[in-house]
Chain A
Amino acid sequence: MARAGLWAALGLLALPVLAGLAGVIAPAFGYLPALGGTELSLDPWRGLLGWGGLGHAMRLSVTTGVLSTALSLAMTFLIVAAWQGTRSFAWVTRALAPMLALPHAAAAFGLAFLIAPSGWIARALSPWATGWDRPPDLLIVNDPLGLALVAGLVVKEVPFLLLMTLAALPQADSLRSQMIARGLGYGRVMGWMKVVAPRVYAQIRLPVYAVLAYSMSVVDVALILGPTRPPTLAVQILEWTNHPDLRLRFQAAAGACLQLLLVVGALALWRLAERLVARRGAGWAAGGARGVGADRVLRPVGAGVALAIGLAVGLGLAGLLVWSFAGLWRFPALWPDAWGLRNWAGQSDMLARRIWQSAAIALGASVIALTLSVAALQTQGARPARIMGLIYLPLIVPQIAFLPGLASFALILGLDGTLGTVMAVHLVFVLPYVYLVLADPWRAWDARAGLVAASLGARPLRVLWAVRLPMLLRALCVAFAVGFATSIAQYLPTLLIGAGRVGTVTTEAVALASSANRRLIGVWAVVQMALPMAVFATCLTLPALIWRNRQGMRIG
């Protein structure tokens, strides 16, 4: 049965991706009978290369993706290195970790509302510091360099990488290693970077790759914060995909192939850079520099970074909340002139429907994902089966590169637009994250506990139920919460597979991105935030509550 779980998990992940890719590669070379493409041609590629914005769009994908990933990783390590083991750190992690549950789109909306020319920052400084009595005509959000997009990605990816790092810390034996480094006279940050960081990085490597692939090809955040003329490649592909001119669908498919190549290339370069850093880093670590003085600078910087991210998200959330209850709100007033429930009341039916659909999809997908992950992990024993590498496929292959193909198949099979199909496609993305979150703690579990239990007469199933699962309760809860949040956050799968009949709070919110209706955006983004947050908070509290009398179940 467990073996079946392994194969089910892999089939679930690999098949849709491969099928979707096939459904994109064929039209990229002109073949898609349903749209009248019956012979192979290079026209889609000619069309793609003929688009004037191509070079720019590609460059944007690479720069925003790589920059946001590198920044997020650096910030995460800095925060942990500078503050691990302190009370502030416990506080910071408690504040940042739930942010993981925020859908990217909601965080992006919050940030957009905050930094926009008519946002809270401008209002707070106006008119006394800026002299503005009308919102200035500045392109802060949707700036052509994509810096707002980078910021939007960073505020989301840091909490994600932070949680991954926290999960890896106990196995990296971080506290004792750090203690030894400090005892040898190393500064906090330097000691951590030299002793703990390499081990932690080895464990969070795949999440980092996923962040890179995601950042390079994200659609929803780019729709909200990204440049517009031209947009990033992924956004342009979506535009072509949804274009009434069917010929552009073929061009979109060619673009999707190109996006895939771009991501694969960037990952290869990143891997190369890893090697380089590792080689240099080994020499650096052996060099013996203690870096005691660096702490004086780096610790406040780390705190500042954490604070800035917390504020960006926190104030962003507050801004969304305020807009959702706002009536008239003149610039540069800090608060609305009038408050009310009108924005909410007008949406209540739709809200109820979308919340129900979102929650049902997310719950189903995460429960199935958790079960399959446990089954798959249980089958593999101590060493991961090679084939499990396939589980990362849906995280590395950009959504925009294979979902359009999958949508074509769903349409041909008449499966599009049903709750079940959308849930199944969500599962493709939920499962890897759940597995990813669960796999390391699962393996790090001391197998001797299982052997002892067995030698006391416990059968394998009892070892699983009575020893392993309870000992890993925290990891299971986190995995479930991550799965739930991942599902809620899905935009493209719901959009393309839901075919307009199934929608979630996320498709609803992102659809408003270009509308400039801040009140409506506020309402939907708040809901989009609150739903996964509530689940996440519950899942983090639960194990702490259950094991409140068990010191051995706490993490360092």
Chain B
Amino acid sequence: MSLRLENLIILRDGAPMVALDRTVAPGEVLSVMGPSGCGKSTLLACLAGALPPVFQARGRVWLDGREITDLPSHARRLGMLFQDDILFPHLSVAGNLGFGLARGVRDRAGAIEDALREAGLAGMGARDPATLSGGQRARVALMRTLLSAPRGLLLDEAFSKLDTELRAQMRGFVFGRARAHGLPVVMVTHDIEDARAAGGPVVDVMGRVL
């Protein structure tokens, strides 16, 4: 599994804001760094198939050798994590995980229970997500994404709201999962620590290696 950004250029008012030409290998993390407002979230929105109409994209995106440039978001199989966990507030913890869990899975309750245990949240399935701590919520969001069997991960400052200790833990958890599943990861961040911990190449939005 690999994610290829082939001459991907995002234009804003006709001027390139993002320009990348890279392949992210399975289990590798491509860190994209830059100050606030440089277009990091826009890059991820583009990869996820939700580029706001004020921007134009050129180039192509491939996932596992399949071109996904023009696929709708739901067909791309790229999991997304934001700095906010974006748990669905109307669903229980288990409901959120179930929403992510791929359709074909037989023993849904079992899969959800396993995921909870793996995230150190055993027995919390019935809980209201609003009653969990920030770290717990972040882990539910991650497990929800992993249960959807993604082919790649997009992280939008995913760790920036966690405190230092949780952050290190969560990074290890996410990168570990990605490596274990062989998922290519694009992480945008403005925190050099995130990029260091990821261990992969670090570039800015114009593709310059940092």
Closest CB-CB distance, A255 to chain B, in whole Å? 46
* Any A CB within 8 A of the CB of B78: yes
**Contact partners of A381 in chain B: CB under 8 A:** 53
Closest A residue by C-beta to B90: A470
Query: Is there an interface contact between A455 and B78, defined as CB atoms closer than 8 Å?
Result: yes
Known: A382-B52, A448-B84, A473-B90. A457 touches B128 (CB 8 A): no
- In A248-300, the 8 Å CB interface with B consists of none
CB < 8 Å neighbour of B72 from A382, A453, A460, A551: A460
Closest CB-CB distance, B145 to chain A, in whole Å? 7
Q: Which of A451, A457, A471, A551 has the most CB of B within 10 A?
A: A457
* Any A CB within 8 A of the CB of B56: no
Q: Give the interface size class of chain A.
A: 20 to 34
* Any B CB within 8 A of the CB of A550: yes
Beta-carbon contacts of A308-325 to B below 8 Å, as 1s and 0s?
Answer: 000000000000000000
Query: Is there an interface contact between B144 and A552, defined as CB atoms closer than 8 Å?
Result: no
Closest CB-CB distance, B78 to chain A, in whole Å? 6
* Any A CB within 8 A of the CB of B122: no
Q: Give the interface size class of chain B.
A: 35 or more
Query: Is there an interface contact between A466 and B99, defined as CB atoms closer than 8 Å?
Result: yes
Query: Is there an interface contact between B86 and A457, defined as CB atoms closer than 8 Å?
Result: no
Beta-carbon contacts of B64-83 to A below 8 Å, as 1s and 0s?
Answer: 00000000111111111010
Query: Is there an interface contact between A451 and B74, defined as CB atoms closer than 8 Å?
Result: no
CB < 8 Å neighbour of A446 from B53, B79, B86, B130: B86
**Contact partners of B73 in chain A: CB under 8 A:** 451, 454-455
* Any B CB within 8 A of the CB of A467: yes
Query: Is there an interface contact between A471 and B89, defined as CB atoms closer than 8 Å?
Result: yes
Q: Which of A455, A463, A551 has the most CB of B within 10 A?
A: A455
CB < 8 Å neighbour of A448 from B76, B86, B131: B86
CB < 8 Å neighbour of B100 from A449, A456, A460: A456
Closest CB-CB distance, A555 to chain B, in whole Å? 12
Q: How far is the CA of A549 from the CA of B131 in the complex (A)?
A: 10
Closest A residue by C-beta to B50: A451
Closest B residue by C-beta to A451: B50
Closest B residue by C-beta to A551: B130
**Contact partners of A382 in chain B: CB under 8 A:** 52
Closest CB-CB distance, A457 to chain B, in whole Å? 5
Query: Is there an interface contact between B90 and A553, defined as CB atoms closer than 8 Å?
Result: yes
**Contact partners of B90 in chain A: CB under 8 A:** 470-471, 473, 547, 550, 552-553
User: CB within 8 Å of A: which residues of B?
Assistant: 45, 48-50, 52-53, 72-80, 82, 84, 86-90, 99-100, 102-103, 128-131, 144-145, 148, 150, 154
| Other contacts beyond A451-B45, A455-B76: 13, CB < 8 A | A381-B53, A448-B82, A448-B86, A449-B86, A454-B48, A454-B72, A455-B48, A455-B148, A456-B148, A459-B74, A547-B90, A551-B130, A552-B89
